Structure 1
């Protein structure tokens, strides 16, 4: 912890490089900067919140903090689930929220250049207004920011067709811990001029540098979308339906969301405003989308695919959305998870990857292990599945935030992930929540290399100390 004299001098230097609205300190710090979505509030506040307006100001702030050995926590939209953006007492928050805007849409290159604080929805809307699609999509689209999406390598609903956030980033600009600006706003898909430095920052959760701008790849805007909800008897049928749909629809399947019976029953009976398009009682439900350009032909192909799946016994029932409004109501089922922190609290939320063919057995094995330890636990499973991603939420009736055993639940869950050769994080990062379990998914040699990279880029360990991996 810095001395009062050092803190006073630090704040004075920061105030000199930021405008009056760019620095909050003491009682002026807004509570919203003190935690992300799932993390507990640290009892001690950050020493200040810096809100730069440009890359130059980010550079100046980090150079000052590096000289003072002041810990810095970059923040985006604060929708993270791993605790990386939650400041501990005495740390300085670096909020990118004022660095917003789409700087350019290059219709010939099919790219968009954006500032890091731009919300995902703003980027999507700007792309759509220019007759393009920015394909990354997730429930927090209205709040999460592009810089945070890149820093956590966000996934979302359409990975099976378009890939993760990493696959959308052609170039980026980042500021290192000492204030050095590394800019490579490349618009080309092919660029093999030495090391691909952008990959150092994508998925690094702010531990290696602060992303300030990015060039994003755009996709052609679909002319139509077909959406259906299907009921299935088994997990094997879920996988068979995925492959059947991908073959019959020639790569046009853009979303494939699997919901176990426990999830479907929970959201359709206990979340206000969510209706059940199909009766409860099936072991599995799948929400799938086709994106195409010819409503007539694509609609016919979609229905033919479903009919063939029904005849083959892969699905037992299906509801096809007849309008965009009805499709949106189907998606409310999947997006209802956003209500869990309110109506099902406290709960432990997990985001893991398991090889697609093993997800069904993994879910059964995990349920048995959790119920053996906590017989009254409620557990739901849901996920994208087509990209190996499974989400799990565990709720223990009667527990409060003070006695909820999240770490003990993690000690049951993550060894199961390792047993099935999976990853402890599919798309939400490591942060502080998963750091004790990183060795379940990374070898000692890989961890040593991560530490070497961290020490090289941030020798004073000021960027997000204590997150992802310890270097001391």
Structure 2
């Protein structure tokens, strides 16, 4: 038996180790059904076990890729041949909920939805939310600095993390389980792990912020004539809803038509409008908040800012509207699709989208570019579907990423760099920034065993 694998088995036990055909029985990721190619999958059940596994791998120079829910979109956790997968699936305990202090202490393998539900049981809100909530994990959310639909009001995952525990490449445990909003006692070491995609350490436990559970929720889907109307609506909603606006999701016409095409979701309004916005506000007074929301909508409708509006009358109707925005699998079936996640100033979005659409028409006239996004936080998502034999990912990348530099944009808003975007990082990060990333990597992982070949381009 392989000496390293045998040593790891003694640490995690037989139930903590997946080998042979059982490895290939697992998919590479949510997006790639190909069999996992890892040397083995290790499933530690504690921080101490993670530390011992990494100590062994460090001594052996064994490459390790950390996996949570395997829902990432940038191939950051896709295991390559010869790599060892370190899965957090058994680190799945919600250790404590403190409703008074407004914190939750959880292990890295807890799913986002499980944390949301546990907080809700204590009349508290864990504010991060995204479509993969049922599968993605808190550790993965930390590693990628996940965003989602509530960033407008509550911020990215970075804003939710108060403290964490992580294991460095050599097995050193760094425990910064801070529970306070204010703590300027030296370096804020948790920032070394947030958004660095597992390249500097493996997060095992996290302390996150909880907010008061909103008593009211008001939702509307509206149609608009142009992007100027979209931005004006955003300005008015942020101002007139007095800080309660929590989501503002924009769908270009093609997205809405694809989502509500036969076999998809029921269309709550006509599909001929150029733009659609799904927005939501949360507050503390059910009656007053509903009255304010409806009054603001009436005002923008009277002003001619929106052309149509639908307000759900039940939770089922509300969920049906959100399904249009969150459940887009039907438009991907049977079509080669390249997924993108970019950010840029709101004022640049309309021009950028027009440029991509024009390039799409010139490159693949029979294809389609589907655009949607959070917009209020500067984030657009794109599905590029060439529908032409021989179309390559590299061609698609150039079409999407090339216009970003002159528009002060970035190649990743919330999905991370992973393996997929390595060659494009220098479009939005300077040579000095990338050099500093390499310095940090060398300092914390001198043998380069943690998620190698991800995030940081080779020299």
Per the normalisation by structure 2, the TM-score is: 0.98
The answer to whether 1:434 aligns with 2:424 is no
1:370 matched to 2:348: no
Against the structure 1 CA distance between its residues 280 and 28, is the aligned structure 2 distance closer, same or farther, given a 3 Å change threshold?
Answer: closer
SS of alignment partner, residue 250 of structure 2: strand
1:127 counterpart = 2:114? no
Residue 281 in 1 paired to residue 275 in 2? no
Contact 1:102/1:118 (CA < 8 Å) preserved in 2? yes
* Structure 2 residue aligned with 1:447: 434
Give 1:40 shift: 7.3
Residue 308 of structure 2: aligned partner: 317
Instruction: Tell me which residue corresponds to 2:335.
Output: 345
Is residue 290 of structure 1 aligned with residue 281 of structure 2?
Answer: yes
1:199 counterpart (191, 196, 199): 191
Unaligned runs of 5+ in 2: none
**Structure 1 residue 467 and structure 2 residue 454: aligned?**
yes
2:380: which partner in 1? 390
Residue 255 to residue 381, structure 1, CA distance change in 2 (3 Å): same
Alpha carbons 2:28, 2:37 under 8 Å: kept: no
What is the aligned counterpart of 2:29 among 27, 36, 49?
36
Contact 1:46 1:92 in 2 (8 A): yes
Deviation at 1:344, TM superposition (A): 4.8
CA contact (8 A) 2:339 2:381 kept: yes
Aligned to 1:95: 87
Shift, 1:176, TM fit: 0.3
Deviation at 1:48, TM superposition (A): 0.7
Partner of 1:423: 410
Offset of residue 339 of structure 1: 3.9
Q: How does 1:151-300 map to 2 (within 5 A)?
A: 151-272=143-264, 274-300=265-291
Give, in whole Å, the separation in 2 of the partners of 1:277 and 1:345.
25
CA distance in 1, matches of 2:42, 2:142: 21
Q: For residues 443 and 209 of structure 2, what CA distance do their matches in structure 1 show?
A: 30
Classify 1:40/1:207 alpha carbon distance in 2 versus 1 (closer, same or farther; 3 Å). farther
Aligned partners of 2:454, 2:110: CA distance in 1, in Å? 24
Instruction: Give the distance between the partners of 1:40 and 1:457, measured in 2 at CA.
Output: 33
Q: Contact 1:38–1:82 at 8 Å: present in 2 too?
A: no
**Do the aligned residues in 1 keep the contact of 2:345 with 2:409 (CA within 8 Å)?**
yes
**Equivalent position to 2:327, from 330, 336, 346:** 336
Q: Contact conserved, 2:128 with 2:147, CA < 8 A, in 1?
A: yes
Matches within 5 A, 1:350-365: 350-365=340-355
Deviations 1:283-315 (A, max 9, x none): 000000010122211111001000111122210
Structure 2 counterpart of 1:86: 78
**Which runs of 4 or more aligned residues in structure 1 lie more than 4 Å from their structure 2 counterparts after TM superposition?**
none
**C-alpha deviation, 1:259, in angstroms:** 0.4
Q: 2-side partners of 1:37 and 1:279: how far apart?
A: 33
Structure 1 spans left out of the alignment, 5+ residues: 1-6
Deviation at 1:31, TM superposition (A): 2.9
Q: Summarize deviations over 1:214-257 as a string: whole Å, max 9, x none.
A: 00000110111111000001101101101101111101001000
Counterpart for residue 15 of structure 1: 9
Query: What is the Cα deviation at residue 418 of structure 1?
Result: 1.3
Size of the alignment, in residue pairs? Answer: 459
Kept in 2: contact 1:169–1:215 (CA 8 A) = yes
